[in-house]
Structure 1
């Protein structure tokens, strides 16, 4: 079942790329006691994600943080090496690139999608949420396009 507004984000151990290589991080450590914008994409380096979704958050990162947001997190069902490389390629220095390598987070959130028919495997749906102290305050899920989960939409909700 899809996570709902008012529910706590599950505590899952994922990875980020550090200078030493992949590093484990728990979602509770990233979310508790903070106001966070978290958005998810179906795949790093894919056209919509690389040309529209992530770039919007890169461009608006300072404005989003000026609205009291402590962190901006991008998650995808990719490994930490891919997420780290994608973040560098997109100049996403202000965004935590969170690797959900085996779709554990996407599934725990009820926001996984099975794209096996097109040979992509299980991926995350495209969405964005505002989270306060680990609790979902807003949730926008896109079936197509990037209207509900764009940086501009998130900014309008802050």
Structure 2
């Protein structure tokens, strides 16, 4: 299973109080290497911010059990979506996410190189990530939980194995 995470640059926004005003954020490029080198992390990817399953179950589940993941030796937990940094920030704010880190893949570069970029034109989303989770140690994928039925324009939104409980069970072995 172990193969390397693709090398991409994520366009993120970070708080910078020196900017002042109502929007004290600046752009900061973060690479795959910055995130994954020398770390033990969980990444879960989902189709979109503010969408029903992602908002009601997927992200809140990981946020609620973040400390349990940390107790299993995980350094950080990332939520990845093919959304821009502004949308990911507002979504985290809306859900009061304070622990899980949001990882915007606005252009879908990481998702495409992972082989997880799918068309969701049937629901008006364009290109999005297929739902999956993975355990990554020092840039190497140790385990992936990919929802069944990976395809373009999937008529449903499977959410069976990329949940936090599946990841916790795997990490407990």
Shared fold (TM-score greater than 0.5)? Answer: yes
Please give the secondary structure, in 2, of the residue aligned with 1:136.
strand
8 A contact 1:17–1:83 mirrored in 2: no
Q: 1:9 aligns with which of 1, 5, 11?
A: 5
Alignment RMSD (CA, Å): 1.1
Q: 2:166 aligns with which of 150, 153, 156?
A: 153
1:125 paired to 2:121: no
Please give the secondary structure, in 1, of the residue aligned with 2:134.
strand
Please give the secondary structure, in 2, of the residue aligned with 1:17.
strand
8 A contact 1:22–1:81 mirrored in 2: no
Aligned-residue offset at 1:15: 2.6
1:1-158 paired onto structure 2 within 5 Å = 5-19=1-15, 20-143=25-148, 144-158=157-171
Superposition TM-score, scaled by structure 1 size: 0.93
8 A contact 1:16–1:96 mirrored in 2: no
Q: Which runs of 5+ in 2 are unaligned?
A: 16-24, 149-156
Which aligned runs of 4 or more in structure 1 are off by greater than 3 angstroms?
Answer: none
Write out per-residue CA displacement over residues 77-125 of structure 1, whole angstroms, 9 at most, x where no aligned residue: 1000000111111222111101111111110100111112432111000
Superposition TM-score, scaled by structure 2 size: 0.85
What is the rounded CA distance, in whole Å, between the counterparts of 1:65 and 1:118 in structure 2? 35
Considering Cα pairs closer than 8 Å and 6+ residues apart, tell me whether 1 or 2 has the greater RCO. 1
Q: Which runs of 5+ in 1 are unaligned?
A: none
The number of residues matched between the two structures is: 154
Please give the secondary structure, in 1, of the residue aligned with 2:159.
coil
- Higher Cα Rg, which structure: 2
